[in-house]
Structure formats: C-alpha cells, structure tokens
Amino acid sequence: MDNIFQIRTDFADELITQNIHTETYHHIEKRNDFIKCNMISVLNDQNELGKAKGEYISIEFKNLFDQDDRKQIIEAIHENLQVMIEKMELKLSKILVVGLGNRFITSDALGPAVVNDIMVTAHLYENEDQALLEGTRNVAVVQPGVMGQTGLESFEIVKSIAQSYQPDLIIAVDALATRNIARINRVVQINNTGIQPGSGVGNHRKALNYQSLKIPVIAIGVATVTSIGAILNESLEQAEIEKEKVLQKIQDHSHLDLVVTPKAMDDELKHLTYIVAESLNKVLHPDYDRL
C-alpha cells in the first residue's frame, strides 16, 4: 500500500512496525518532556527495514522557537553525535563537512546553510602556528550543489576533494523526507552509514558512504518535506477510511508523489540551521564554547 501512495521516508524509526528487538535490529526509545530519541542498531545487511547495517539515531522535538528548547536540542544532537564518533574509534585529525542540497530551494537548503556556519580552520592549519589553534580541529567544508547546477554528481565532487584533503571523517548534512507531517522540521537523524542524496524524493544519486569513498561517513539530516501521498495515507488511517475506495477515485496516482513543505519553512530553516551548525561546531572543535 505504501508503494501505491508513493510514500518515501529517509528515517529508520518510521519503518519500525514493532517496538521490540528482532534478529536484524535493536530499537531503544528514550524521552523527556522536550525530546524523544529513537536509537536503532541495524545488525544485518539483509533486514526488514531495508537500511544499511549500522547505527541510526533520531532526535524528535516539539518546539523550535524557544531558546531554552533549542539549547536542549543542540545538546542532544551534540551528545549523540559525540558518542557515535567515539564508537567509530577514529583519529579525527581532519574532518570534511559536506552541505548537500540546492541552496536556492528553501526546503533543500539546509546542507548549504549549515556549512556556511561551520567554523572552518583547514586553511589556518596550513599556514599558522598550530599552538594558536589549540582547542580546534582541522575542518574544511564544501557545498557540491546539485547536478542541475554543476552538471556533476555530488559524489564525484566530494570524492575529488576528499582525495586531495584526505579527511579522517566526512560529515554530510542534508534535507530529508518524512512520512509523518507532524515531524516536518521537528526531527533530526544521525547515522554512521552515509547517505544517498535525493533518495527521499525519488531522485536517487550515488551514495556517499564508506563503501564508495573509503572514508567513514556520518550523515545528519532534518525532515523538511513529505509527499501528498504520505499526507493522504496518514489522514485516511486517522479517519479509519478504506484506502482502496479512495484510490479508485483518484485518476492520476502520480500526483501522490508531489513533494510539499510548510509555508513557515523560511523562518524555521534559520532555527534548524543554527541548531545543526552549533551541534556540529561543538563536536568538531573541543573548546568551541570558549573560543
């Protein structure tokens, strides 16, 4: 039925149908008054979620507009990202942050907007006394754009830069698709399996992951869009209406694949950019709060 409604999701926790451990994945949920955190460990390459083997953490929140709430979200992302990196046991001398997406389309501009706010130091490490850079790491960023702008796969651009810069870790930031309208601009996912740009809207590009780049990749994404089909499916479920009868009256099912985003996206993108960039800066530079 999901295929008929053209429902896509980039979030591992939206694919779980039972809140228990199985042979292929483990799922733990934690929550407080402000944040719900789903931690999923996919144990096998072949699994019912259709996700790559690895760790997936989603951090869901209710409010973007209160400063104290934003601080809690930043701290939650920071802590979970730090733990994920520590488990990977990486040296972390150099880190490349990749801002995926189209900066001219608001719902797809998260990646480019975030890397604009990252504290970049790679050029300083090349030319300055490293004693003056104490408390920082060697960090570079790139905005590869989209194929319609450059004529090139984002993967090819990132691969070329990585071969020259030789980072120990790549962190890719992108906008994601959700199947739950209430989660738009209200959930962040972190994973250590990489990312396939455009997969949430059916525009599959070559994946950025360890298998393709030979460098560990952590992906950070925020739900910024959903589809007409996902909204319709969710509404019919809540109203307990038989979906087959509704589908019979829809002449053109391709309309269900249309992607939508909230009218408040402009304002909310500013807060989301700040939250993700601050979380990353805290992880990238150990003394960021004192710099």
Q: Which domains does the chain have, with CATH numbers?
A: 12-290 (3.40.50.1450)
Which of 5-9, 93-97, 100-104, 174-178 is predicted with the least confidence, judged by mean pLDDT? 5-9
Pairing of strands 94-100, 169-177: parallel
Strands (E), 101-216: 138-145, 169-177, 187-191
Mean pLDDT of all residues in 110-135: 91
pLDDT value at position 23?
85
What band does 26 get if pLDDT is binned at 50, 70 and 90?
Answer: very high
Burial class (CB in 10 A: 0-12, 13-18, 19+), 289: exposed
| Four-residue CA torsion sign, 197, 44, 279, 128 | negative
Distance between CA atoms of 253 and 5, rounded to whole angstroms?
8
Candidates 68, 114, 82; CA nearest to 282 is: 82
Contact (Cβ atoms closer than 8 angstroms) between residue 216 and residue 84: no
CA angle in degrees (0–180, nearest 5) for 259-11-193? 120
Indicate the DSSP class of residue 239: H
User: 49 or 250: which carries more pLDDT confidence?
Assistant: 49
